[in-house]
């Protein structure tokens, strides 16, 4: 039994078109925003690139995380569509490299006054100077390279181990246990990067005066929901192409449950952070929410909660809706938009002030990265058989009931 | 509540049980219930049971909890007994969310437990007829109602073809009663006389 996926020319054309839109947007953005030599334009140009690239990298790294989590829990349910998270995880390096180029350009290329990362040149700001042991260029570069490097390594490692299992002796569990060991190591790396330092350095340091210990968990929860939504979109696309023959509604139900449950978890972290700051009412903390909730950003602020909490909880709660291809695809698109908006609210308000836009520039760059994701992942998917032959949990995955 | 006549067939494995359940449903006999020592996967679909409405009840209980908490707290803090806590507004929604959440969970949990007991007719003191003493031990018991139009001899022949380890015909109370197990004997005597 084989299950080969060949990239349809329509998908390839769509991917290339989206990528072209992205590149044209960057060129047009460079002409429009960088040409005037104004700080607002400069900020918008670089923030759009940073926010979108970080968003897509976080969605991709979730695929590595869910493989590691399923390996540690010895979960068989993921094996039916294992090649999808593997293919996304194997392409983490592409997005990681782009993120590194963009972030290092922001840190090193913006001259004496950095409008995005104020800590690069504190200019006598005592609060930021007090944080300089952690918030400095060396730490930023070191942690970023280590994080992206390790993520790319593990993403490729999980795929290569899974492919090696295909040619291993029948019923051999050697690679299975090795995968569990590697997954344990990845969890340590993931805990020290995605769940702590990476969101601090990349996102929280944009508002360098403010800090929250829950911040990285909040970012992780959002990345996890959108990452699972993207895996779901890929699996259902492949099913529509007649591939992924082992996958059925039980597995879709599982992915739907993940989207539902972690949307609630995202709201939990959001509210836990918000309520403590609201209750304590300390000016140096409330200023963060004041710029977002009252004033120019109040519309996206409340929209964010509606899209990421009210929508999923009401629409994805019932069992039939999690097993219906239309509802889950619709909700996956809604959640990806919602988490993109959430990341927008975490990055933009600090540097841009009350002058916010979500227009052709932001959407164009999003389209570019979506095209890149389509091209890279479909190319990797087409390389190997979509059935993980010889995986020892394959039978369990096929008879799985959600 | 009614006393009725039942034919039972006992099996010692899942495979003949599924076989028998399929045949009974196909033949048109009135399947009363199936008793098993442990939850058997797929038996509910084989018996043609519809999906439980327990989760809809849970949603309604949860919504009741949410509105109770929000309504009660906003009434207390705005009109009944307004107190100034650290300069916060009287109607402070973020402060009410944790209690709202807890009350939602509590209403949903308690309400679903009670609904579950009601749907399954289980409560302390509620008794139901036991068709076979080994039905909770090692036997799978299929119970078929012998209605007015059922030919009993034909039914027993039909059941014996499914290779049960034991068959029986019993007159028993269909529903539940409150009290002791020996009270059912009186019903059976009444029915027989």
pLDDT, one tens digit per residue, over B76-114 is 999 999 999 888 899 999 999 999 999 999 999 999 999
> What CA–CA distance (Å, rounded) separates A166 from A394?
12
Is A113 part of any domain?
yes
A377 contacts A91 by C-beta, under 8 angstroms: yes
Q: How confident is the model at residue A365 (pLDDT cuts 50, 70, 90)?
A: very high
Q: Half-sphere exposure of residue A345, counting CA atoms within 13 Å on the CB side? A: 26
What would the two tokens of residue B94 be? 């973020």
Identify whether residues B131 and B177 lie together within a single domain: yes
Q: Which pLDDT does position B188 carry in this prediction?
A: 56
Identify whether residues B115 and B136 lie together within a single domain: no
Strands (E), B36-125: none
Identify whether residues B42 and B23 lie together within a single domain: yes
| Beta-carbon separation of B55 and A271 below 8 A | no
Q: Which run of H or of E encompasses B4? A: strand B3-11
Largest CA distance in chain B: 83
Q: Is the pLDDT of residue B187 over 70?
A: no
Mean pLDDT of A290-318: 92
**A260: which chain B residues are within 8 Å (Cβ-Cβ)?**
none
Q: Which of B92, B120, B148 is the last residue of a domain?
A: B120
Q: Which pLDDT does position B1 carry in this prediction?
A: 61
Q: What is the pLDDT of residues B102-161, one digit of tens each?
A: 999 999 999 999 999 998 888 888 888 888 888 889 999 999 999 888 888 899 999 998
Q: What is the pLDDT of residues A41-54, one digit of tens each?
A: 888 899 999 999 99
Identify whether residues B130 and B181 lie together within a single domain: yes
**A271: which chain B residues are within 8 Å (Cβ-Cβ)?**
94, 97
Is A79 part of any domain?
yes
Q: Which pLDDT does position A358 carry in this prediction?
A: 86
**What's the domain count of chain B?**
2
Instruction: List the single residue in A with minimal CA-CA distance to B93.
Output: A275
Q: How confident is the model at residue A355 (pLDDT cuts 50, 70, 90)?
A: confident
B183 vs B156: which has the higher pLDDT: B156
Q: Which pLDDT does position B189 carry in this prediction?
A: 57
> What CA–CA distance (Å, rounded) separates A72 from B146?
53
Identify whether residues B128 and B37 lie together within a single domain: yes
Identify whether residues B84 and B178 lie together within a single domain: no
Per mean pLDDT, which range of A81-85, A261-265, B86-90 is the poorest? B86-90
Mean pLDDT of A282-292: 91
Q: Which pLDDT does position A326 carry in this prediction?
A: 95
Identify whether residues B105 and B130 lie together within a single domain: no
A79 vs B180: which has the higher pLDDT: A79
What's this model's pTM, rounded to 2 decimal places?
Answer: 0.88
Candidates A275, A318, A319; nearest CB to B94: A275
Mean pLDDT over each residue of chain A, to the nearest integer: 92
CATH of the domain at B156: 3.30.70
Is A151 part of any domain?
yes
Is A49 part of any domain?
yes
CA distance A275 to chain B (A): 6
User: First CA to last CA across chain B, in angstroms?
Assistant: 18
Is A1 part of any domain?
no
Is A328 part of any domain?
yes
> What CA–CA distance (Å, rounded) separates A169 from A101?
43
Q: Is the pLDDT of residue A137 over 70?
A: yes
**B41: which chain A residues are within 8 Å (Cβ-Cβ)?**
401
Q: Which of B94, B120, B146 is the last residue of a domain?
A: B120
| Beta-carbon separation of A275 and B86 below 8 A | no
- Structural domain range at position A231: 9-398
Identify whether residues B46 and B128 lie together within a single domain: yes
**A319: which chain B residues are within 8 Å (Cβ-Cβ)?**
55
Q: Does the beta carbon of A313 lie under 8 angstroms from any beta carbon of chain B?
A: no
Question: A225: exposed, middle or buried (C-beta count within 10 Å: 0-12, 13-18, 19+)?
Answer: buried
Q: Which of B102, B120, B138 is the last residue of a domain?
A: B120
Q: How confident is the model at residue B184 (pLDDT cuts 50, 70, 90)?
A: low
Q: Which pLDDT does position B191 carry in this prediction?
A: 54
Identify whether residues B41 and B68 lie together within a single domain: no
- Structural domain range at position B145: 3-50+123-192
**What's the domain count of chain A?**
1
| Beta-carbon separation of B59 and A274 below 8 A | no
Which pairs with CB-CB distance under 8 Å and at least 24 residues apart come from B13-21?
A: B13/B140, B14/B40, B14/B140, B16/B162, B16/B163, B16/B164, B17/B43, B17/B140, B17/B142, B18/B42, B18/B43, B18/B46, B19/B162, B20/B142, B20/B159, B20/B162, B20/B164, B21/B46, B21/B47, B21/B142
Identify whether residues B76 and B115 lie together within a single domain: yes
Is A64 part of any domain?
yes
What would the two tokens of residue A352 be? 């841009």
Q: Which pLDDT does position B193 carry in this prediction?
A: 47
Is A4 part of any domain?
no
Q: How confident is the model at residue A218 (pLDDT cuts 50, 70, 90)?
A: very high
Mean pLDDT of A148-164: 94
Q: Which pLDDT does position B186 carry in this prediction?
A: 59
Identify whether residues B134 and B188 lie together within a single domain: yes
Q: Does the beta carbon of A314 lie under 8 angstroms from any beta carbon of chain B?
A: no
> What CA–CA distance (Å, rounded) separates B37 from B123?
20
| Beta-carbon separation of B95 and A275 below 8 A | yes
């Amino acid at each position: 039994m084989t299950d080969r996926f060949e990239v349809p020319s329509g998908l390839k054309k769509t991917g290339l078109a989206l990528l072209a839109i992205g590149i044209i947007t960057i060129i047009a953005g460079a002409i429009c925003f960088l040409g005037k030599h104004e700080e607002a334009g400069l900020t918008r140009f670089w923030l759009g690139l940073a926010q979108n690239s970080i968003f897509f990298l976080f969605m991709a790294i979730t695929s590595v995380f869910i493989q590691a989590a399923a390996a540690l829990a010895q979960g068989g349910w993921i094996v039916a569509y294992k090649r999808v998270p593997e293919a996304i995880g194997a392409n983490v390096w592409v997005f990681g490299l782009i993120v590194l180029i963009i972030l290092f350009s922001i840190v090193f290329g913006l001259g004496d006054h950095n409008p995005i990362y104020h800590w690069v040149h504190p200019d006598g700001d005592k609060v930021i100077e007090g944080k300089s042991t952690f918030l400095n260029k060396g730490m930023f570069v070191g942690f970023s390279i280590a994080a992206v490097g390790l993520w790319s390594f593990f993403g490729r490692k999980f795929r290569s181990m899974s492919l090696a299992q295909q040619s291993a002796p029948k019923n051999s569990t050697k690679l299975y246990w090795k995968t569990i060991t590697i997954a344990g190591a990845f969890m340590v790396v993931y805990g020290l990067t995605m769940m702590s330092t990476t969101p601090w350095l990349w996102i929280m340091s944009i508002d360098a005066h403010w800090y929250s210990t829950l911040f990285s968990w909040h970012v992780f929860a959002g990345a996890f929901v959108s990452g699972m939504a993207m895996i779901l979109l890929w699996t259902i696309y492949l099913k529509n192409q007649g591939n992924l023959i082992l996958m059925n509604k039980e597995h879709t139900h599982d992915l739907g449950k993940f989207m539902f449950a972690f949307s609630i978890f995202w709201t939990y972290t959001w509210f836990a952070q918000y309520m403590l700051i609201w209750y304590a009412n300390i000016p140096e903390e409330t200023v963060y929410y004041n710029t977002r909730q009252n004033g120019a950003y109040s519309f996206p602020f409340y929209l964010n909660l509606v899209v990421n909490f009210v929508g999923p909880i009401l629409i994805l709660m019932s069992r039939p809706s999690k097993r219906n291809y239309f509802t889950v695809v619709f909700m996956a698109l809604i959640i990806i938009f919602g988490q993109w908006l959430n990341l927008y609210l975490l990055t933009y308000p600090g540097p841009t002030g009350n002058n916010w836009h979500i227009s052709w520039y932001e959407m164009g760059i999003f389209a570019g990265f979506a095209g890149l994701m389509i091209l890279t992942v479909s190319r990797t998917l087409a390389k190997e058989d979509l059935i993980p032959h010889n995986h020892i949990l394959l039978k369990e995955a096929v008879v799985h009931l959600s | 509540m009614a006393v009725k006549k039942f034919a039972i067939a006992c099996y010692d494995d899942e495979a003949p049980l599924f076989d028998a359940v399929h045949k009974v449903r196909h033949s048109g006999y009135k399947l009363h219930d199936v008793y098993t020592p442990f939850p058997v996967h797929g038996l509910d679909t084989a018996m043609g049971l519809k999906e439980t409405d327990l989760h809809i009840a849970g949603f309604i209980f949860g919504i009741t909890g949410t509105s109770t908490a929000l309504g009660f707290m906003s009434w207390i803090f705005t009109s009944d007994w307004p107190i100034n806590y650290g300069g916060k507004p009287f109607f402070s929604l973020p402060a009410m969310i944790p209690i709202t959440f807890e009350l939602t969970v509590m209403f949903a949990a308690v309400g679903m437990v009670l609904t579950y007991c009601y749907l399954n007719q289980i409560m302390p003191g509620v008794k139901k007829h036991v068709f076979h003493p080994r039905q909770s031990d090692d036997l799978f018991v299929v119970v078929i109602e012998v209605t007015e139009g059922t030919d009993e001899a034909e039914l027993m022949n039909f059941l014996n073809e499914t290779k049960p380890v034991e068959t029986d015909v019993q007159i028993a109370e269909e529903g539940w009663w409150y009290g002791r197990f020996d009270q059912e004997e009186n019903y059976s005597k009444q029915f027989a006389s």
